[in-house]
Structure 1
Amino acid sequence: MQETRLDTARIRAARRVIDPVFLDTPLYRCEALEPRLGCAVSIKLETANPVRSFKARGTEVVASLLADHGPRAVVCASAGNLGQALAWSGRSRGLEVTVVASRFASPAKLDRIRALEAGLELVDGDFEMARERAAAVARHEGIRLVEDSLDIETCEGAATIGLELVHRARAFDTVLIALGGGALATGVGHVVKALAPEVEVVCVQPLGAPAMTHSWHRGSVVTTDSTDTIADGVAGRRPIPAVLDDLLLVADDAVLVEEASIVAGMRMLLDHAGLVVEPSAALGIAAILENRDRFAGRHVATVVCGSNVDVDAYHGWVNTPFTSRL
């Protein structure tokens, strides 16, 4: 495999600074899903932790480095999960954390950021506007800007999921990974291709937020003017060139899925796995639903990456009538 920005030795070292509460998460075959999907399915569950997503694996690495050598104040832009994770990791290490988010982000995610004692600044726009504002705050205040996916620590923290997956790599032949900014996909993809290259890495993104997938297929950055998806955690419009370069080296495919399939995936995970998940976490199941022939008879692993949902919105989604048609 050609070299990415990531380093397998650093990824192994990252495990030593990540709080164990985020490590060695459940990986199990979910047989109840299989008759409905037509393939064997294993779930890598990244929701049973204090921030209910995989993001703290990366923020633990970032915060550990800053606590030892860096500034004591940091700022990030977030759709919600990164902000929670950085707030949690920063609080335990005495860092002052500011999170910039869209005013239209999930209220549940914003409330959790506040509860974790981070400063929260809201912008009247989407995630890309929050990224611009966070960069401006960092310049003005002279503090550290944490950029998810661009900062290699966020990718290598997420890549520790890959280390846990490859111990069971012979049990499955495909891994489905939610694709947003790219930290999860490039991190897990790097480890899988380095240590279990026979496993297919497939990235999944909503049709309403396709920038990174279009970029992967074209081989160069493609931006979009807007997004339209309930999967807010992966709804970026402007891929980061360095992250795309890594993704091009580790992903075997990148696919887009419809909103109806995402909702159907959420409902299936609730009904047949007992899991309440946010839309981004159902992307892998959505991909199987839309590509049954492709995955028929195979053993697929999917990373269930987050469960931070607004209760009212969640009930509205999983009770939507069109889910029964898929």
Structure 2
Amino acid sequence: MPQTRLDTARIRAARRVIDPVFLDTPLYRCEALEPRLGCAVSIKLETANPVRSFKGRGTEVVASLLAGSGSRAVVCASAGNLGQALAWSGRRRGLDVTVVASRFAPAVKLDRIRALDARLELVDGDHESARERAAAIARHDGIRLLEDSLDIETCEGAATIGLELVDAAPSFDAVLIALGGGALATGVGHVLKELAPDVEVICVQPLGAPAMTHSWHRRRVVTTDSADTIADGVAGRFPIPAVLDDLLLTADDAVLVQETSITAAMRILLDHAGLVVEPSAALGIAAILEDRDRFAGRHVLTIVCGGNVDMDAYHRWVGTSPVHGP
């Protein structure tokens, strides 16, 4: 296959520096979902770790390299999950971590970043504003700027999920991957294209935040003026050219789903799999709901990539009522 920026040998090496708490997450066939979706469904559960998302795989690689080089400070922009993961990995290695986030990010994610001893700076505006501020801090302070998806460590950390899928001797026909900045899709996609090329790699993005999907289809960077989706973890507006180049080599398709399908998928995962997930993690199930004929009779795997969700918002989205104690 044409070469991406990723390297399978480095991905295998990444497993040796990632804390085992992030590795070998549950992978199982979820038969309870199948009558509702009309296809066989397996789940890779990336919420079963201390930061409740896949992001810890990449930040472990970054933090290990920083600690090994003697560099002690790092800054990143985050919609919430990357910041938590970097704070966790940095605290473990004695790093000085600064996270820049939109003040409109879910409070549960911001609170967790603070609890992990990172310095948190909030900005008005969206994630792109946070990216600009993080870059400014890095320049001013002369410290490492971690850019999710652009920095190859984040992609290759996420790619270790792909190794685990392949090691499980997959019987699935397609993998549905949430698409935001692209680290998860390019990382897992790279491994599957190299080691399990018959598996179809399908990226899924909200209709309200379609920049990377439009870019994939047009084979050039397409930006948007705004993003309007409850799936805050994938709500970028400015695709990174190098990441798009990788995505063009690793994805077989990129699809958009409606907000109503995302909330329906969250409810299905709650009712039939017992999983409370954030909207980004439900994108794969939403894609099945919107195109049942495409997946009928197939074995589909979806990566449940995050479980950091504001519970009040969650109850509104899925139509449940919070349970209050006495």
- TM-score w.r.t. length of structure 2: 0.97
Q: Which amino acid aligns with 1:168?
A: A
| 2:305 matches 1:305 | yes
Query: Partner of 1:324 in structure 2?
Result: none
Residues 57-114 of structure 1, C-alpha deviations (whole Å, 9 max, x = no match): 0000000000001520000000000000000000000100000000000000000000
How far residue 156 of structure 1 moved from its aligned partner, in angstroms, is 0.1
Matches within 5 A, 1:191-202: 191-202=191-202
Please tell me whether residue 270 in structure 1 is matched to residue 277 in structure 2: no
SS at 1:229 equivalent? coil
Partners of 1:295 and 1:203 lie apart in 2 by: 14
* Separation in 1, partners of 2:169, 2:206: 26
Structure-1 residue corresponding to 2:30: 30
Structure 1 Cα separation of the partners of residues 121 and 69 of structure 2 = 26
In the TM superposition, what whole-angstrom CA distance separates every residue of 1:236-271 from its partner, at most 9, and x where no partner exists? Answer: 000000000000000000000000000000000000
The aligned residue for residue 259 of structure 1 is 259
1:65 and 1:167 map into 2 onto residues whose CA distance is: 26
> Counterpart in 1 of 2:127?
127
Separation in structure 2 between the aligned mates of residue 142 and residue 80 of structure 1, nearest angstrom: 23
Paired residue for 1:183?
A: 183
Question: Which letter does structure 2 place at the counterpart of 1:258?
Answer: Q
Q: In structure 2, what residue type is equivalent to 1:289?
A: L
Tell me, yes or no, if the aligned pair for 1:182 and 1:247 is still in contact at 8 Å: yes
Q: Which residue of 2 is the match for residue 323 of structure 1?
A: none
Unaligned residue ranges in structure 2 (runs of 5+): 321-326
**Structure 1 residues 1-326: aligned runs within 5 Å:** 1-319=1-319
* 1:100–1:134 contact (8 Å) kept in structure 2: yes
> What's the offset of the Cα at 1:170?
3.5
Could you give the per-residue CA deviations for residues 245-298 of structure 1, whole angstroms, max 9, x where no partner exists? Answer: 000000000000000000000000000000000000000000000010000000
Task: Deviation per CA, 1:128-149: give whole Å up to 9, x if none.
Answer: 0000000000000110000000
Distance (whole Å) between structure 2 residues aligned to residue 185 and residue 274 of structure 1: 25
Paired with 1:70 and 1:150, the residues of 2 have a C-alpha distance of 22
Q: Which amino acid aligns with 1:239?
A: P
Q: Which amino acid is the alignment partner of residue 237 of structure 1?
A: R
Partners of 2:54 and 2:9 in 1: CA distance: 20
Tell me the C-alpha RMSD between the 2 structures.
1.0
Cα deviation for residue 167 of structure 1 reads: 2.0
- Report deviation, 1:171: 1.3
For the 8 Å contact 1:169–1:196, the answer to whether it is kept is no
Secondary structure at the aligned position of 2:264 is classed as: helix
Q: How far apart are residue 166 of structure 1 and its match? A: 1.1
Tell me the SS of whatever aligns to 2:150. Answer: coil
d(CA) in 1 for partners of 2:127 and 2:64?
A: 26
User: Contact between 1:38 and 1:296, CA under 8 Å: does it hold in 2?
Assistant: yes
Structure 1 segments unaligned to the other structure (5+ residues): 321-326
Q: Residue 323 of structure 2 aligns with which residue?
A: none
Separation in structure 2 between the aligned mates of residue 10 and residue 191 of structure 1, nearest angstrom: 11
Cα separation, 2, equivalents of 1:124 and 1:26:
37
- CA distance in 2 between counterparts of 1:162 and 1:252 reads 15
CA contact (8 A) 1:214 1:222 kept: yes
Q: Distance in 2 between matches of 1:12 and 1:168?
A: 15
Equivalent residues of 1:63, 1:86 under 8 A apart: yes
Cα distance in structure 2, aligned partners of 1:159 and 1:250: 12
Q: In 2, are the aligned partners of 1:4 and 1:190 still within 8 Å (CA)? A: yes
2:155 alignment partner AA: C
Alpha-carbon distance in 2 for matches of 1:291, 1:167: 29
Change (3 A) 1:290 1:70: farther
